[in-house]
Amino acid sequence: MTIIDFHNHFYPPEYLQAIQTGPSNVKVTFDAEKNPLLHYPGDYNIAVPGHRDIAYRATVLEKAGVDKQILTFTSPGTHIECPARAAELAQMVNDALAKIKDVRRDRFTALATLPLNDPAASAKEFERVTSELGFKGVMLFSNVNGVALSDERFWPLYERANELSAVFYIHPIHPVGVEAMLDYWLMPLLGFTFDTTLAAAKLVFSGVVARFPKIKWVLAHLGGAIPYLAERLDRGYYAFEDCRKNIHRPPSEYLKEFYYDTVNFDVNALQLAIDFAGVDHIVAGSDYPHQIGSLEKMLGSIEALSLSPEAKAKILGKNTAELLGLNSDENHVPAAALDR
């Protein structure tokens, strides 16, 4: 059985060096173990070795029994920089991820990042990463400095992505209203899931999902609250004219076509998402190596589901392989591969 971790994060060393030397709106400090700390509103990330050392990460995967990871960049993203610097850093990140997925394709592939505060530059970079670097999709943040992903400024990007049937993975970022979430780590604990839920609902109600039906949307953290609240969105569709003006089906029918990663390690929550979207639309995710992530809990929670071995195999790897068009022979990694 091939195991592929869809939801995990990596900071290329080139990026970490670039934001330390500047210019950058990210404040970088270091902890007692000399790990970089990347500070942004309401949160900070500790860039432990797994975040920035790809060889170290490969040994972690081997020990955990995970065959492959879909690398993605993470918060705070490049869109918090000025547009020119955002474009420069996004290109740097994508070049680094492309090298990893080409040289270490036995263990890793990746989704690209975009300088989302500049929609024109984002469309240009999307064209570069898909046509020249071989990326099958990108990770989008759930809002762009407060601007919703449903905003029409992003529609040229979506039009091209629709032509390519690209994968768009929505990962949360510091949400609108972050000032109410600055204590108790509420921003990453609750704000992230709220913002993903909001982004998905707006993409559906605005008509973006209906207008660009070939885009393959994936939601982080089990879709936030989407599986739980989809029925309420449907009630809005039937009750309010505004909720019907851009779509011709209830929201849940669009949302069931999304994919959901398993970064909610509660078995009952996972089962709810499976009941909502179907086992074919669930992909394994760990959130490694963030403090709140866990390869072991990813594997344990899926194993605890009352599903057939065939269904578990879909969640653990087959769905991701089909979504990204990965070659099955390429996905399986012999133990000797790590000695290269």
Q: Is the pLDDT of residue 315 over 70?
A: yes
Distance of CA 81 to the CA centre of its chain: 20
- Please tell me the distance from the alpha carbon of residue 262 to that of residue 300, in angstroms, as a whole number: 11
Q: Is the pLDDT of residue 337 over 90?
A: no
Residue 334 confidence (pLDDT): 33
Q: What are phi and psi of 150, to 5 degrees?
A: -75, -10
Share of the chain above pLDDT 90, in %: 90
Q: Is the pLDDT of residue 270 over 70?
A: yes
Q: What is the pLDDT of residues 110-142, one digit of tens each?
A: 999 999 999 999 999 999 999 999 999 999 999
Q: How far from 174 is each of 139, 261, 265, 321, CA to CA, in Å? A: 15, 19, 22, 30
First and final CA of the chain: distance in angstroms? 23
**Structural domain range at position 234:** 4-339
What SS3 class is residue 284?
Answer: coil
Q: Is the pLDDT of residue 338 over 50?
A: no
Residue 28 confidence (pLDDT): 95
Domain count, the chain: 1
Using pLDDT thresholds of 50, 70 and 90, give the confidence band for residue 41.
low
Residue 176 confidence (pLDDT): 85
Residue 335 confidence (pLDDT): 33
38, 174 contact by CB (below 8 A): no
Question: Quick one: average pLDDT of 150-154?
Answer: 98
The closest alpha carbon to 89, from 163, 187, 22, belongs to: 22
Q: Which two tokens stand for residue 269?
A: 């929550």
Residue 179 confidence (pLDDT): 86
Residue 229 confidence (pLDDT): 98
SS3 per residue for 120-167: HHHHHHHHHHHHCCCCCEEEEECEECCEECCCHHHHHHHHHHHHHCCE
- Please tell me the distance from the alpha carbon of residue 64 to that of residue 339, in angstroms, as a whole number: 17
Q: What is the CATH number of the domain that holds 217?
A: 3.20.20.140
Residue 154 confidence (pLDDT): 98
Q: Is the pLDDT of residue 299 over 50?
A: yes
Handedness of CA 184, 185, 191, 193 (dihedral sign): negative
Residue 40 confidence (pLDDT): 76
Question: Quick one: average pLDDT of 244-266?
Answer: 98
Residue 177 confidence (pLDDT): 86
- Please tell me the distance from the alpha carbon of residue 162 to that of residue 211, in angstroms, as a whole number: 9
Structural Rg of the chain based on CA atoms: 19
Using pLDDT thresholds of 50, 70 and 90, give the confidence band for residue 64.
very high
Strand order in the sheet with 216-219: 137-141, 167-171, 216-219, 259-261, 282-283
Question: Quick one: average pLDDT of 200-221?
Answer: 98
Q: Is the pLDDT of residue 75 over 80?
A: yes
Using pLDDT thresholds of 50, 70 and 90, give the confidence band for residue 231.
very high
Q: What is the pLDDT of residues 274-284, one digit of tens each?
A: 999 999 999 99
Share of the chain above pLDDT 70, in %: 96
220, 285 contact by CB (below 8 A): yes
For the CA atoms of 210, 215, 220, 222, what is the dihedral angle to 10 degrees? 60
Q: Is the pLDDT of residue 332 over 50?
A: no
Using pLDDT thresholds of 50, 70 and 90, give the confidence band for residue 25.
very high
Residue 329 confidence (pLDDT): 39
What is the overall mean pLDDT for the chain? 94
